[in-house]
Structure 1
Amino acid sequence: MTSNDASQSPLYAKLLGETAKIGWSELERFFARGILLHVARDLDLVSVAEAIANDDTTRVAQWLSSGLVVRVQSETAADFAARDPELWAVVVSPWVCVQERS
């Protein structure tokens, strides 16, 4: 699926509408539960969420193996807590996908 196709998907539109700017303090509880996924800046956060929601195991596995999508580790959590960067998040139960924007 190309990004043009994705932008026309009802699921993509729904997830885009649910994507919001959020502070680290609001994400800490998801980190503590081990359900917070960090999405690399060069990926489209909503496309990643859509792939997870659609159970697109091939794409998700590629991102995981290349380190473009990772479960948030304690070092990243400490960095986010110290810097409080601009973060965007979208929920794809049970996961919360988070991405730092510059």
Structure 2
Amino acid sequence: MAEDTPLGDSPDREALLRREFHGQTARIPWRDLQTYYAHGSVVRVDAALDLVEVAVQLGLDNRAQFETWTGAGLVAPVSDAEALAWFEGDATLWAVVAAPWVLVQNREFAAG
């Protein structure tokens, strides 16, 4: 019943989350995320997934979907090796904040 969960997992809530996360998604230099990484708040999202969709499912607390993604290694904490490679390569990543997490995705784009 809607009384049990005021916002629930209604299509309206999902659409609202999708709009919010889509509007907040941006490219950001990895170096600007160092503080969040040091606090353990940065999560890597595989390029095979839609970054906004992952944020939406996090916002909806879809544990079953996250277990599937994490079990397949598609969503995981950023490893020290990844962080170092991104730092040394001066990488720019796609990112969105899904508090308390910062979701990042390394996607290569063709110039032009």
Task: Name the structure 1 match of 2:16.
Answer: 10
Task: Name the structure 1 match of 2:58.
Answer: 52
Task: Name the structure 2 match of 1:61.
Answer: 67
Cα displacement (A) at 1:13: 1.1
Task: Name the structure 2 match of 1:37.
Answer: 43
Cα displacement (A) at 1:85: 2.2
Distance 2:101 2:21 in 1: 13
Cα displacement (A) at 1:86: 2.7
1:101 aligns with 2:99: no
What residue ranges of structure 2 are gaps of 5+ in the alignment?
Answer: 1-10
Equivalent residue runs for 1:69-84 within 5 Å: 69-84=75-90
Identify which of 29, 43, 51 aligns with 1:23: 29
TM-score (norm 2): 0.82
Cα displacement (A) at 1:67: 0.3
Which structure has the highest helix share of the two? 1
TM-score (norm 1): 0.89
Q: What is the percent sequence identity of the aligned residues?
A: 36
Equivalent residue runs for 1:85-100 within 5 Å: 85-100=91-106
**Post-superposition, which runs of at least 4 consecutive aligned residues in structure 1 deviate over 2 A?**
none
Aligned-pair Cα RMSD in Å? 1.3
Indicate the structure (1 or 2) with the bigger Cα radius of gyration: 2
- 1:1-49, CA deviations, whole angstroms, 9 ceiling, x for partnerless residues? xxxx8xx812101100001110011111111000100000010000000
